[in-house]
Amino acid sequence: MLRARSETPGCNNVLHFNNAGASLLPAPVVDAVNAHFRLEAEMGGYEAAEAAKTTVQGFYAAAAQLIGCSPEEIAYQESATRAWDMVFYALQFQPGDRVLTAKAEYASNYIAFLQIAKKTGAVIEVIPDDPYGQISLSALESRIDAKVKLIAITHVPTQGGLVNPAQAVGRVARDAGVFYLLDATQSVGQMPIDVGELYCDALCTTGRKYLRGPRGTGFLYVKQSRIEELEPPFLDLHAATWTGLDRVHIRNDAARFETWERNYSNMLGLKTAMEYASSWGLETIWARIRLLSATLRAKLSSIPKVQIRDLGEEQCGIVTFTVNGLDSEGIVQALRKKQINVSLSRVEYARLDFEARGLESVVRASVHYYNTEEEIERFCQEIEELA
C-alpha cells in the first residue's frame, strides 16, 4: 500500500477513517480537476469543454466498465441523491401503489417516499429485518402482489457495516416484474458491483465516498429497456430537443436524466477516480477493506465499554460503535483535535433503524485500502484512552 499512500497527499496530515463520508483524493484526481480548471481559465469554459469533448465522453465508458453496463445506460449527476430522485420522481404513482423498502433506509430516500405518499396516496411498507439485521427475503417475497410498484433499498446503509442482500432482492423484483431501485452510494468503489448480477433497473452512487472522487459528483445507471418508460421530473435542452412550437423529443438514452450545465472539472475528476479504482481492481480493494475492517472491529471489541453496532451477515468497511458513558459527538470532536477523522451518524439519518435499536447516534469509522494496520492500532489506543 506504499504506492496508494504516496499518491494520497492527505495521508501525511490526518488519520482518515471517514471514507464513508468523503475519501481522501488521490493525486491523479486532483491533477485532473485542476488541469481542466486551468484550461477554462486560459481559453474559456465553453471552449474548454469542446476541447475536452473526447475525454469527457470517456466518463461514460469508465462508469460503464465499473458496474458492468453500456455507456448509454449512464447519466452524470451532481450527487447520488439527485440521481436517485431523477428515477424515483419519474415513476407515476397512483393511490394504493405500494413501495417496499428496508428498515435501514437512508433519510433522504425515506423523505421522498413520504412526500410522494402524501401527494399520490401511494403506500410505504417497511420490510422487517431477518435475524442478522438485514432485509428479510422471506418477508419481502410474502409482500409481493400486483399493487407493488417499486422495491427500493440501500445496498450499504450510511449508519453501519451492514451489506444488504441486494442480489437476492433483485431476483425477487425480477421474478415479480417490479421496478428495482438500488442506492449503491456506499458500495460502488468499495466492492465489485455488476448491475446485471444485481438485477436492478436503476442504481445511483456518489463520487466522494469510496470512489475517491470530488464532492458534488455522482452517476445514475438505468437499464436500457426501462429508460423510455421513465419521463424525468424535469427536462432541459440537453435531455430533450424542442422539435416544434408545442412539441419536444426526449432522448432515448440515460442522458435524458442529465442537465446541460455541469462542472466539467469535477466530472473529469470523477472519471479519473473511476479509472484509478479500476486500475487497482475492485476485488483487490474489497479484500483489503474487509481485512482492515475486521481487524478494526476485533480490536475495538476488546476495549472495555466499547459496543460495536454493526448489523448484517456480511459486513463492509464501515465500523460503527458507541462507548458506554460517553457522548458519540464528543468522541468525534475529541478525535478530530488529534487529526483523526471519523463521523457521527444520528437518529435522523436512519430513524427506522435507530429507533428500533434505541440509538440516538453512533461513531462511524470507515476504512479504505490506503489505510494501514498501524493506523488502526493508533485509533484503538485513542479510543481506549477516551473510554
Would you say residue 221 has pLDDT above 90? Answer: yes
pLDDT at 1: 77
340-341 and 15-16 strand pairing: parallel
| Tens digit of each residue's pLDDT (9 = 90 or more) over 54-106 | 999 999 999 999 999 999 999 999 999 999 999 999 999 999 999 999 999 99
What is the pLDDT averaged over residues 369-387? 97
Q: Cell triple for residue 362? A: 453512533
| Tens digit of each residue's pLDDT (9 = 90 or more) over 128-145 | 999 999 999 999 999 999
Percentage of residues in the chain having pLDDT higher than 70: 100
| Tens digit of each residue's pLDDT (9 = 90 or more) over 158-168 | 999 999 999 99
Instruction: Calculate the CA 226 to chain-centre distance.
Output: 21
Report the chain's mean pLDDT, rounded to a whole number: 98
Strand order through the sheet with 361-366 = 306-308, 318-323, 361-366, 343-346
**Domain made up of 27-279: CATH architecture:** 3-Layer(aba) Sandwich (3.40)
pLDDT at 16: 98
Confidence of residue 348 (pLDDT cuts 50, 70, 90): very high
Distance in angstroms (rounded) separating the CA atoms of residues 15 and 30 = 19
**Across-strand partners of 222?**
202
What is the pLDDT averaged over residues 316-343? 98
Confidence of residue 26 (pLDDT cuts 50, 70, 90): very high
pLDDT at 111: 98
148-154 and 202-206 strand pairing: unpaired
| pTM check: above 0.95 | yes
Q: Cell triple for residue 267? A: 466530472
CATH number of 2-22+281-386: 3.90.1150.10
The b/e string for 111-123 (b: 16+ C-beta within 10 A; e otherwise) is ebbeebeeeeebb
Domain boundaries in the chain? 2-22+281-386, 27-279
User: Fold match between 2-22+281-386 and 27-279?
Assistant: no
